[in-house]
Structure 1
Amino acid sequence: MERALTRQEASDAVSDHGWRLLLGTLRTSVSVGSLAMATEVAATAVTACGDRADRHLHIDLRPRKVVLTLRSSADVAVTDRDIELAHRISTAVTGKGLRTEPDIGAGAPRSVQLLEIAIDALDIAAIRPFWRAVLGYSDEPGADGPRDPLVDHLGQGPAVWFQQMERARPQRNRMHVDVSVPHDEAPRRIEAALAAGGRIVSAARAPAFWVLADPEGNEACVSTWQGRDG
């Protein structure tokens, strides 16, 4: 029987192995030199997971990078089994002279991350079907209510969620982007945004998220898993 973990438990269990907790998933990347090598890394990860690969592992292959994601499809959560599989994968990848890493070192283009689009709505149930249809999205597993997020079942696009509004706010954008980054990447990302002309609108919910804005007031949130348990 698998046990779903708290965010703190999951993060603590894998951080030293180069994995990071993002939006209820464990995620890491492996730098490679070719698509052929990326395919080899993917095969290594699948072999390490054995017969549990189909239920836990997702892989994105590129010529320079392999992104690995773990989450139990049955529990729609990170479980103790995912921790075990993360350790297995990291050990197997290390055996090939490579390493699992979140890419937060100096000079890295960016770390692993996930995007969400948030849409302000007065009547979420009324607009959600439109966005589900126009994007070709589907309900998130285990979340099919009239107010729940929508996801790309192919994993190619950002999730979409709806922010309940009490009244319209025409003076600001009604959509914003949530950038979910590793908890130890957030300060660097915020610093870069401020250096690029942005400002912090609110840090009241930090470290769960910081609300930032560009010079014209369009908002984006930098989010982490921290500050969300309990």
Structure 2
Amino acid sequence: MERIPSRREASEAVQEHGWRYLLGTLQTSVPVGTMVQAVGLAADAVAVCGDDADRHLRVDVRPDAAVLTLQSLDHAAVTTRDIELARRISAAVGRAGFLPQPGIGTGAPRSVQAVEIAIDALSISGVRPFWKAVLGYVDEAGADGPEDPLVDPVRQGPAVWFQQMDRARPQRSRIHMDVSVPHDEARRRIEAAVEAGGRLVSASRAPAFWVLADPEGNEACITTWQGRDG
């Protein structure tokens, strides 16, 4: 029976197969040399997923890579079916002579990642309809409440979630980015941000997230699945 595993279970189940758990998805990148190769790998992935492809698999095809994402659209989460599909896809990619990898330490421009925009609000239910309309976003599956996140229906833009404020804070930015990275990439990303002129504002909730700021105080969070459940 298909079920939703813990973040730790999902991460450990696919890590050796070249995938990483990111923000309710499984992701990997397969470096290629041509668009034809990328399209061929995408076709292989669809084939091994079979009837599950439409409800679980997304593929971003580029001349230098095929980026694969697995998530159950019905649950808006990773399920045990996604884990099985990740293993099948990795085997198919290997048979084709390629290597699925998250991009860490491989010379890739960056690791796989997922970006969210967080908006601080005194009345989440008051501002959420505006952002839903102006972005053309929709409710995530199973999350249609007045304070729930919003997602891009074609999955091109970052998700938007709302953080409850207890009082107005005009002295600080009220919109920031959350960059969800593989758990074994977080430290490198934080060090790079600090070396680039940023500063670490807080690590009190690490390894779930670290708060950083640029030289003018604009904040961003580096997040991982760790520290959120068993």
Decide: shared fold, TM above 0.5: yes
**Equivalent residue runs for 1:4-153 within 5 Å:** 4-105=4-105, 107-153=107-153
Q: Give the RMSD, CA atoms, in angstroms.
A: 0.9
**Equivalent residue runs for 1:156-195 within 5 Å:** 156-195=156-195
What is the percentage of aligned positions where both structures have the same residue?
Answer: 70
Paired with 1:139 and 1:75, the residues of 2 have a C-alpha distance of: 13
Cross-structure match for 1:226 = 226
Quick check: 2:28–2:112 contact (8 Å CA) kept in 1? yes
Paired with 1:62 and 1:13, the residues of 2 have a C-alpha distance of: 27
Instruction: Select between 184-193 and 78-87 the one with higher mean Cα deviation.
Output: 78-87
Cross-structure match for 1:207 = 207
Instruction: Select between 184-193 and 52-61 the one with higher mean Cα deviation.
Output: 52-61
TM-score after normalising by structure 1: 0.98
For 1:163, what is the secondary structure of its paired residue? strand
TM-score after normalising by structure 2: 0.98
Paired with 1:105 and 1:112, the residues of 2 have a C-alpha distance of: 12
Paired with 1:165 and 1:212, the residues of 2 have a C-alpha distance of: 19
Paired with 1:129 and 1:213, the residues of 2 have a C-alpha distance of: 29
Paired with 2:153 and 2:91, the residues of 1 have a C-alpha distance of: 30
Cα distance, 1:53 vs structure 2? 1.0
Paired with 1:159 and 1:84, the residues of 2 have a C-alpha distance of: 26
Give CA-to-partner distance per residue, 1:183-221, whole Å, 9 cap, x none: 000000000001001111000000000000011110000
Give CA-to-partner distance per residue, 1:3-38, whole Å, 9 cap, x none: 110000000000011100001110001011111111
Paired with 1:79 and 1:124, the residues of 2 have a C-alpha distance of: 29
For 1:192, what is the secondary structure of its paired residue? helix
Quick check: 2:76–2:140 contact (8 Å CA) kept in 1? no
Give CA-to-partner distance per residue, 1:126-171, whole Å, 9 cap, x none: 1000000000101111100000001001011000111100111111
Count how many residue pairs are aligned between Structure 1 and Structure 2: 230
Q: 5+ residue gaps in structure 1?
A: none
Give CA-to-partner distance per residue, 1:38-77, whole Å, 9 cap, x none: 1100001011111111121111111111110111122222
